[in-house]
Structure 1
Amino acid sequence: MNFRLLGSGLLALALPAWGNTPELTQPTALRLAAGEARPVIDGRLDDAAWQRTPVYERFAQFLPADKQPARWRTTVQILVTDDALVFGIRAWDAEPGRIRAPLTRRDQVKADQDFIAVFIDPVGHRRSAQYVRVGAAGGVEDGLFAAEEDSEDSAPDFDIEAAATRLPDGYSIELRWPLAALRFPHADGAPWRVMVARNIPREDRTLNVSSPTLNKDALSFIAELQPLDGLGDLVEQVRERSFIAFRPELTLRSTRDSSEADGTRRSRKASLGAEFKWRPRADWVVDATLNPDFSQVELDAPQLAGNTRFALSVPEKRPFFLESADVVGPTQADESGENRSLAAFYTRAITDPDWGLRATWRGAGAEATALHLRDAGGGTLLRAGAFATRAGVQPRDSQASFARGRMQLGGLGLAGLVSLRDFGDGLATQVVGSDGVWRAGDSDQWRGHLLLSSTTLGLDAAGQVQHINRERGHRAWAAWRHRDADWVANVNVEEISPRFANDNGFVSQSGIRRASAFGYLRLGPREFAGIALHDHEAQLKLQETRTLADPLLGVAAGQIVDRLVQPGFWFAAARNTGVWGHVGLDSHRARSGGQLHATRTLLVGMESNPGELLNYVNAEVEWGRRLDVDADRVGLGVQSQVQAQMRMPLPGALWLELEQHFGLGWVDALDGRRAFTDRSAQSLVVLHLSPRESLRLIYQQTRFNRREDAAASLAAQDDRGHVLSLMFQHRIGLSRVISLGLNRARAQPGAVRANELFAKATLNF
């Protein structure tokens, strides 16, 4: 007899009896006494402590329609030990065979799966929250949610412990969240707040939340987090407690590099690195890293860049930079698609740190962080203009420093920052500035920043670094965001002076003044052509960018760089399907003094969770009269991208995960023949051998091919790149990892080849 299953069944029968007790109006925790048995984190709510823990079950539907009663019963129980919060969550399901519970990579618990999400705001102001999603198979995704952008960042990872178990009538999870992984003030803090969400991905994806007053009119998803009752004097007891984590890592690497210019080079190297985290008390965290190795970090997906005038940013994935990322500053794009926060600090500007030190403080009404590190360099150095980004190679062995502090005065938040990059030999860049946010009621938010820069580092015509007379610049930005039951608006105005530079930030365009607006009418659910639309919108995007005078680059003031007029639509339907599109009645100028070209395009996109096998599809295509930047003319062309993901079970409790990215762009010349073709592709295959072991293969390729064009003075071009990455990874406990890998890269022209074998072991103490 399966006594575990019998115990789970008896527990399921016992839980409804708790309905005879008064219903909780907010989540309430039970404090366990010293010496009392703690639950085993196995996903089963059969430990003795759960039998007397208060049960909360006031869930309401948020998606597809808000303010509706929850159709699936979900209960939440919370235990408090001397060092952790422990959540026990039971998810009932009348059709348990339809629960989607694949094995997944870390941070890949998405809307196509059944999951439970827990949001915690230990500061209590609902400006940000730490979150963990636990899938029905025990997969974990975690990160930070920022109210200012109403968006999540899954890059930060926390030392949590989670498990799930399937039951005859649903599933249950246990989540142990150590207090050492929570960031809260030492004194005068507001009550901790929490929200639990449950995702049910059927024909109509449903998301239920434990905050019954939350609705889609809110400026952010965490606007209605509820106070967590039952903590008593826990905060006072643990705020002086010190936590220390030490993670040494050993990497063995063998490399062979070759090129036409440099010949062949071979090396073998053993490197020892470490990360150290010390929380001396609740409001302080000190991080240190020595010789970190990021060989196990997943490759960035390739982007179409052959017809792009400006540099492209990529997301951060390295652990050292992700502690308290919300204090560094917002990291997500707003609803207009812009990401201005990277102008202040862009961690990917730090290429290869030798060592780094960082301290973060978080109070009840203020917070601050400061970091300093030494970068081995060799990455990309950017110098922007109104029509293009110039790029060079970073000098090696630079010192990078950044500090930001923010204080909250009711609905007004004000911050100041300083950023320094010293490359030696008199080459340095400094930035100082201030940013702020004002929450003007429940529907309106104002944001902005002013950054001032000074630099003695420039690039010559060949992209080589050179010492220059000190240049100064500024960047000013203001934005208004409105959201209510009828309409949403995002309005931005900004000015970036020609010589603004930040070598700790991301600056892809300067010497411009821009105004943009993106808004939509919320038209709600309806039926169209026999299709039930859960929601639909009429959208409009407007933007105009004009040049500022830039004598150094020979740019006259007042030239239109781009003018966008894009009426569009969006609607949501079954299987978490979204469809969008717009007509682009736009104009673009490729170079100073050049023609302002009319570009007329049609864009259509969609994303969906079609089923359990093909679990995610995203595609977008823009077709019409597009600008060929290098040739400075318009031709018929396409810009498109497709992403598809599949998951399938294999014999022996294995899971196979397949993910494919494709990108394709081209523009025709005046004779109707193809002027250029830009392609990118990435194939990712993950074989999950167990919840702790996986084999990952990534293969990606890029190619930009241009036909010779004498009329435009363009030579033939054929640039190619191939990358292969194979890695086996085994996890022991929470943070002990053994990785074995192979990386191979090839590029043309130049016959560049790079081959690497590595073995890495990371421990945790």
Structure 2
Amino acid sequence: MTFRLLGLGLLALALPAWAHNPTALRLAPDAATPQIDGRLDDDAWQRAPVYERFVQFLPADKQPARWRTTVQVLVTGDALVFGIRAWDPEPGRIRAPLARRDQVKADQDFVSVFIDPVGHRRSAQYVRVSAAGALEDGQFSAEDDAEDTAPDFDVEAAAARLPDGYSVELRWPLAALRFPHADGLPWRMLVVRNIPREDRTLDVSAPAMTKDALSFIAELQPLDGLGDLVEQVRERSFIALRPELTLRSTNDRDEAGQVRRTRKASLGAEFKWRPRADWVIDATLNPDFSQVELDEPQLAGNTRFALSVPEKRPFFLESADVVGPTQADESGENRSLAAFYTRAITDPDWGLRATWRGASAEATALHLRDAGGGTVLRAGAFATRTGLQPRDSEASFARGRLQLGGVGLAGLVSARDFGHGLATHVVGSDGVLRAGDSDQFRGHLLLSSTTLGLDEDGQVRRVSRERGHRAWLGWRHRDADWVANVNVEEISPRFANDNGFVSQSGIRRASAFGYLRLGPRELAGVDLHDSEFQLKLQETRTVADPLLGVAAGQVVDRLLQPGFWMAAARNTGIWGHLGLDSHRAKSGGRLHDTRTLLLGFESNPGELLSFLMAEVEWGRRLDVDADRVGLGLQAQLEAKLRTPLAGGWWLEFEQRLGLGTVDAPDGRRAFTDRSAQSLVVLHLSPRDSLRVIHQQTHFTRRADASVALADEDSRQRQLAVMFQHRVGLSRIVSLGLNRASERPGLARSRELFAKLTLGY
């Protein structure tokens, strides 16, 4: 079948000013689909209308763009094709390293395309293409004003370097877009260009965009002229099948020194069917995630509560925006994980998921069988208890959302059945109210019921049915002068969700985080692009919990943190705050005053050292296990280096370090907590890479008879080596080695694997 090129030109950028431009919606003549090679030399591009009305968003919004950028859009029978031309008076300074997928960041020259085919500007799919042709994609949520890079779309892109800049071609299949079957609003989109120099510049295609808006996608532009094509595509069915074959050899040694060797070949598959525009059916059978990157190590030796980690597995990423936003708000809190946390699913045997999107409503539901082996969380006001999850459980989750103008209402149900009478159920509702352009209110109420409990040794046991609730209400305000986030919540002592993430319960909390926008200014001879005075307030108190012996009204934490943030050249940010805080380590214990100073810094220094971040908090910190305060620090460092090699190869190196310490009353070190991750990627081509990750955590504590603490020395190490040949999402060949060890004990594991994934 030959698709006719409809070539609607820049119908994606139908700005009001175009009403005076007779070429704005001119149809391009019929032509063949352009070859996606990054060069805009096909006949179709010669006849397509050109849009170039870009303005600055950073460092100052609504300013004329410094350098010319043009956009053209073609529409074929099955895809949108974007041609973007970026002129540069100093092309030798274009930063275009080869990079992993989803690692196209502010230190690189790139262009981005945001598309909202629902038209409500609540969320948008986006694809970012660097000047080297590297890809980053994901979902942007207006409610959180944040992007989630976890979702991947089956797009095709290429870039070409030119004597006066670079050009990009991006083919976005209509099958990868999610939109209603009927009564939808006009599609909307936005094109962005990033220019990293001494002063980072971000140019956008929407002249009305402002940093005062509640979200970055508040001014997405209408897409005109797609009517006939959308009508055709609404009824069209798309099917994708990705079988995968994994060969694996493992060698495990337990703490007793017993060795177990296994060799296994497994066949799995992922299936995606879009019967029409508003429905997507996903299925997975025996998925293997051996090629997924290791989770970053975290300092956990002085932490009372469980720590969450991001999702990276493909099956769980479809329609993540319908499940609920997954990004933390500006105060650093992440409440959406309480409803559904996909990392609670450890090793699925199979899964089935359906998602529907209408013009003013949407819903998703999934059911799967988990081979288990993960962690059960049972939270309290002062700590999270953990236990080993029973194997072979079944998990179900469903959420539906209705949009009525500026009001959004949603309901959800969640169930986890472990068999033998062990089950957890959650029902709830959440909502959002957009009160004008500056204010947004959000909240949820979740009710739980469970028969799964933990004994004092962390063993799972059946208990009489326990019920709990979690209620939260939040307000977010943003205007030209100030920004505020205010939250109040209550989590009852027995609230539990084995499909979610609950690290603390039995509390009432009120928190507020805001900043006064001081704008550009000069400080000590340095030009600041932006500056803010910040203030964070929080108080957490206990709710009575007879089961754990916790009395009501105890202060768990009380935070008072005045601070600042400044932005300068080279995408540099400097921040800090005074911590005039108080913390209680255990029920009935003393409320300790902690006094700390935090300073942080991040920058994109240059093409070689592309990113540098350091943050240090120093002062009187809480030693949780000893229930006392001592002089100490918590620090983290992150550095990224990229350098070209002979033959067009690129070397990418990332180093992350973490350190936490607290001194005992005698001035000697009470404990030291360390974490480190080294990542090296050798890019042989845009499709071929060799990745090595080595990481470790190491916690040591000195014995102290006065607080009944013994010597402790625990260490975990992990090594992952993988070669990967990747063509989009359709063809992936992976060869790898994973090794892990932990101390105390002799536990060791080694795994060799080969994986082939093909897409049809």
Look up the match of 1:7.
none
The match for 2:177 among 175, 178, 182 is 182
Distance in 2 separating the partners of 1:728 and 1:27: 47
Alignment of 1:597-616 (within 5 A): 597-616=592-611
**Aligned pair 1:244/2:239, yes or no?**
yes
Distance in 2 separating the partners of 1:102 and 1:711: 55
Alignment of 1:596-675 (within 5 A): 596-675=591-670
What is the deviation of 1:27?
Answer: 7.4
Query: The residue matched to 1:553 in structure 2 has which SS?
Result: coil
Distance in 1 separating the partners of 2:565 and 2:316: 35
Look up the match of 1:226.
221
Query: The residue matched to 2:305 in structure 1 has which SS?
Result: coil
Gaps (5+ residues) in structure 2? 1-17
Query: Residue type of the partner of 2:747?
Result: V
Distance in 2 separating the partners of 1:521 and 1:58: 32
Query: Residue type of the partner of 1:624?
Result: G
**Aligned pair 1:468/2:435, yes or no?**
no
What is the deviation of 1:731?
Answer: 1.7
Look up the match of 1:212.
207
Look up the match of 2:131.
136
Alignment of 1:86-165 (within 5 A): 86-165=81-160
Q: Could you report, residue by residue, the CA deviation over 1:670-707 in whole angstroms, capped at 9, with x for unpaired residues?
A: 10000000000000000000000000000001100000
The match for 1:740 among 726, 735, 741 is 735
**Aligned pair 1:320/2:312, yes or no?**
no
Distance in 1 separating the partners of 2:233 and 2:485: 42
The match for 1:592 among 584, 587, 592 is 587
What is the deviation of 1:232?
Answer: 3.3
**Identity among equivalent pairs (%):** 81
- TM-score norm. by structure 2 comes to 0.97
Query: The residue matched to 1:551 in structure 2 has which SS?
Result: coil
Look up the match of 1:379.
374
Look up the match of 2:6.
none
Query: The residue matched to 1:652 in structure 2 has which SS?
Result: helix
Q: Could you report, residue by residue, the CA deviation over 1:572-603 in whole angstroms, capped at 9, with x for unpaired residues?
A: 00000000000000000000000000000000
Distance in 2 separating the partners of 1:282 and 1:268: 43
What is the deviation of 1:417?
Answer: 0.1
Alignment of 1:20-59 (within 5 A): 30=27, 33=30, 36-59=31-54
**Aligned pair 1:258/2:253, yes or no?**
yes
Query: The residue matched to 1:42 in structure 2 has which SS?
Result: coil
8 Å Cα contact 1:354/1:376 also seen in 2: yes
Alignment of 1:211-610 (within 5 A): 211-261=206-256, 263-610=258-605
Distance in 1 separating the partners of 2:338 and 2:227: 43
Q: Could you report, residue by residue, the CA deviation over 1:240-259 in whole angstroms, capped at 9, with x for unpaired residues?
A: 00000000000000000002
**Aligned pair 1:719/2:714, yes or no?**
yes
Query: The residue matched to 2:343 in structure 1 has which SS?
Result: helix
Look up the match of 1:684.
679
Query: The residue matched to 1:372 in structure 2 has which SS?
Result: strand
Query: Residue type of the partner of 1:138?
Result: G
**Aligned pair 1:72/2:94, yes or no?**
no
What is the deviation of 1:326?
Answer: 0.2
Distance in 2 separating the partners of 1:241 and 1:31: 24
8 Å Cα contact 2:28/2:49 also seen in 1: no
What is the deviation of 1:234?
Answer: 1.1
Query: Residue type of the partner of 1:615?
Result: S
Distance in 1 separating the partners of 2:516 and 2:391: 51
Distance in 1 separating the partners of 2:593 and 2:163: 62
Query: Residue type of the partner of 1:348?
Result: R
- TM-score norm. by structure 1 comes to 0.96
Distance in 1 separating the partners of 2:670 and 2:22: 65
How many aligned residue pairs are there? 743
* Bigger Cα displacement from structure 2, 731-740 vs 607-616: 731-740
Distance in 2 separating the partners of 1:613 and 1:27: 42
8 Å Cα contact 1:28/1:78 also seen in 2: no
8 Å Cα contact 2:235/2:276 also seen in 1: yes
What is the deviation of 1:29?
Answer: 8.0
The match for 1:81 among 51, 65, 76 is 76
8 Å Cα contact 1:155/1:317 also seen in 2: yes
Structure 2 CA distance for partners of 1:89 and 1:757, relative to 1, 3 Å: same
Query: Residue type of the partner of 1:636?
Result: L
Query: The residue matched to 1:246 in structure 2 has which SS?
Result: strand
**Aligned pair 1:194/2:189, yes or no?**
yes
Query: Residue type of the partner of 1:242?
Result: S
Distance in 2 separating the partners of 1:560 and 1:147: 34
Distance in 2 separating the partners of 1:253 and 1:30: 54
RMSD over aligned Cα atoms? 1.2
What is the deviation of 1:142?
Answer: 0.2
Structure 2 CA distance for partners of 1:22 and 1:510, relative to 1, 3 Å: closer
Q: Could you report, residue by residue, the CA deviation over 1:51-91 in whole angstroms, capped at 9, with x for unpaired residues?
A: 11111111010001111010110000000000000000000
What is the deviation of 1:732?
Answer: 3.7
Distance in 2 separating the partners of 1:359 and 1:437: 24
Q: Could you report, residue by residue, the CA deviation over 1:634-676 in whole angstroms, capped at 9, with x for unpaired residues?
A: 0000001001000000011000000000000000001000000
What is the deviation of 1:32?
Answer: 6.4
Query: Residue type of the partner of 2:688?
Result: E
Query: Residue type of the partner of 2:358?
Result: G
Distance in 2 separating the partners of 1:85 and 1:763: 24
Query: The residue matched to 2:44 in structure 1 has which SS?
Result: helix
Query: The residue matched to 2:232 in structure 1 has which SS?
Result: helix
Look up the match of 1:15.
none
Distance in 2 separating the partners of 1:734 and 1:559: 52
8 Å Cα contact 2:54/2:205 also seen in 1: yes
Query: The residue matched to 1:537 in structure 2 has which SS?
Result: strand
What is the deviation of 1:260?
Answer: 2.5
Structure 2 CA distance for partners of 1:29 and 1:676, relative to 1, 3 Å: farther
Query: Residue type of the partner of 1:658?
Result: F
8 Å Cα contact 2:155/2:728 also seen in 1: no
Query: Residue type of the partner of 1:655?
Result: W
What is the deviation of 1:324?
Answer: 1.1
